[in-house]
Copies of this chain bind each other. A is one copy, B any other.
Amino acid sequence: MKDPIGGTSRVGSKGRNLEDLRRQNLSTVLSLVHANRSMTRADLTHATGLNRSTVATIVTELESLDLVTVSQPVDTKRVGRPSTVIGPSPRHIAVAVHPDKDAIAIGVVAMGGRVLREFRFDVEHAPSAVHTVNTLHALVRGLELSDGGTVLGIGIGVPGLVGARDGVVRVAPHLDWRDEPLVDMVASATGLPTWAANDATCAVVAEGQFGQGVDEENVVYLNGGAGGIGGGVIVGGQLLSGENGYSGELGHMLVNSDGGLCHCGAIGCLETEVNRDDLLGVVGLGDAEANLLEQRLRDAYGTDQDVTELVDRQLTYLGVAMRNIVNIFNPGVIVLGGFLGALRNATDARLQDDVERSALAGPASEVRIVSSTLEDNVLIGAGELVFRTILRDPTSASTGIMPGAERVAAG
């Protein structure tokens, strides 16, 4: 738009009308029910600050949209009339997918972050995009036959760079994917609206909503997987996605100028210096026994010299990354997943001490460093990608699903 007076004017945020107001309140209430899994209507009144009668009409509308269930009050042993219980409806579900090096995981996720069913399809070699799509497609067809609810859409967590706007997987090194138009492929095959994002990004969304990041505004998630280290960040309660959804690649931060060559082409990246295979090797575990890593490390650390040296070296470099993260983001909590969580747990407070000593005193003083305890955080987060639309605008649920009409990607 041209401004005849002051040059080019900027199109700012839009104005709001009464419809937006109602939409926002519907969204607030539904999001609360989603986040808390279950609340009484009185709780909602207090949490929102809205009038009782307003909450009543909003809940009624959400109920008529089949988004919440209203059930009888439960025995609270408190004075006064008991309040009706509002829960997320199990009718609207999302299908979450996590293709990885060794398996394709697919989950059926309901609102409230509940994984209703989970499937794991092991693969010998990293699955291709087509393989992933076919597996998913087959499962979705089966689900539709068995009924059980409305599939709102499909959310995919990919170990690689995913374009936020186009849903194209720019590169997924450990799957050997390049420029795969994943969202379009899935949407065409299944006819369902589809979203995709980096898997660690999905994980941090789940951690922020249901895991270690609950009640936190600033959360950094670092995942140590088979292939490498991924990152996801929430700042000010909002997901950090960047210009194209590529942000949060914390695994490719310099931690050692004299380090090895990373597959990304750079030297001394975090994921080159800190990796799972070396740890598994030194304690004599195979790829499939990664779940035993924490115990083995705890047993050998401090007694076995090879293990101690390796762990110390990796902790040092992990500490450098975390120092940077603390200085850059000033987060309230850093959540470690995968083998990074094992590394932390096996060495007690060492990482925390490290960071408090090396980072700037201000941001270092209040950061909590914890390990993830939320199972399936990638699947839950991928489900959140799907639910996000309906949480933002609950009235969109009424429009029904137009197969293939919507193909969206999210970072």
In the complex, A330 has a CB within 8 A of chain B: yes
| A238→B240 contact, CB < 8 A | no
Known: A10-B215, A50-B15, A256-B257. A248 touches B362 (CB 8 A): no
A161 surroundings in chain B (CB, below 8 A): 360-363
> Is the CB of A145 closer than 8 A to any CB of chain B?
no
- Stretch from A146-154, A261-269, A286-294 at the B interface: A261-269
A170-191 contact mask (Cβ, 8 Å, vs B): 1 or 0: 1100000000000000000000
Q: Within 8 Å CB of A37, what residues of B?
A: 6
Asked if A409 is at the interface (CB within 8 A of a chain B CB), the reply is no
Known pairs A3-B38, A21-B16; A362 contacts B244 (CB<8 A):
yes
**Does A85 sit within 8 A of B, measured CB to CB?**
yes
Nearest neighbor of A4 in chain B, beta-carbon distance: B76
Contact of A28 with B10 in the complex, beta carbons under 8 Å: no
Shortest CB-to-CB span from A40 to chain B, Å, is 7
Complex: A278 Cα to B25 Cα, angstroms? 57
**1/0 per residue A323-354: CB within 8 Å of B?**
11001111110000000000000000000000
- Contact in complex: B48, A36 (CB < 8 Å): no
Contact call B243/A363, Cβ cutoff below 8 A: yes
Across the interface, do B35 and A12 meet the contact criterion of CB distance under 8 Å?
yes
A49 within 8 A of B: yes
Number of interface residues of A (CB under 8 A): 92
Q: Which of A7-23 contact B (CB under 8 A)?
A: 9-18, 20-21
A383 at the interface (CB under 8 A from B): no
Cα-based distance from A78 to B3 in the complex (angstroms) = 12
With A1-B46, A9-B43, A360-B264 in contact, is A218–B243 under 8 Å at CB? yes
A363 to B, closest residue via Cβ: B246
* Residue A24 lies at the interface, judged by CB distance under 8 Å to chain B: yes
Q: Which residues of B contact A163 (CB under 8 A)?
A: 362
Contact of A324 among B85, B324, B366 (CB under 8 A): B324
Expressed in whole angstroms, the Cα–Cα distance for A39 and B54 within the complex equals 37
Contact with B along A106-133 (1 / 0, CB 8 A): 0000000000000000000000000000
Instruction: Answer yes or no: A235 CB below 8 A from chain B CBs.
Output: yes
Residues of chain B within 8 A (CB-CB) of A11 are 47
A217 and B240 alpha carbons, distance in the complex (Å): 11
Q: Which residues of B contact A31 (CB under 8 A)?
A: 12-13
Tell me if A358 counts as interface (CB < 8 A to partner B). yes
The closest CB in chain B to the CB of A333 belongs to: B243
Q: Which residues of chain B are within 8 angstroms of A320 by Cβ–Cβ distance?
A: 254
Bitwise, A229-248 to B at CB < 8 A (1) or not (0) is 00100011010111111111
Question: Does A330 lie within 8 Å of B243, measured CB to CB?
Answer: yes
A5 lies within 8 A of chain B by Cβ: yes
Check if A13 sits within 8 Å of B38, measured CB to CB: no
Chain B residues closer than 8 Å to A21, beta-carbon distance: 16-18, 20-21
A residues with a Cβ closer than 8 A to B are 1, 3-6, 9-18, 20-21, 24-25, 28-29, 31-32, 35-40, 43, 46-50, 54-55, 74, 76, 78, 85, 161, 163, 170-171, 214-215, 217-218, 231, 235-236, 238, 240-250, 252-258, 264-266, 268, 320, 323-324, 327-332, 357-358, 360-363, 366-367
Residue contacts A-B, CB under 8 angstroms, 28 given: A4-B40, A4-B78, A5-B39, A5-B40, A9-B43, A10-B214, A11-B47, A12-B32, A12-B47, A14-B28, A15-B25, A17-B21, A171-B361, A218-B243, A218-B247, A235-B235, A236-B238, A243-B363, A247-B329, A247-B330, A250-B327, A252-B327, A252-B360, A253-B327, A257-B257, A257-B268, A324-B324, A328-B328
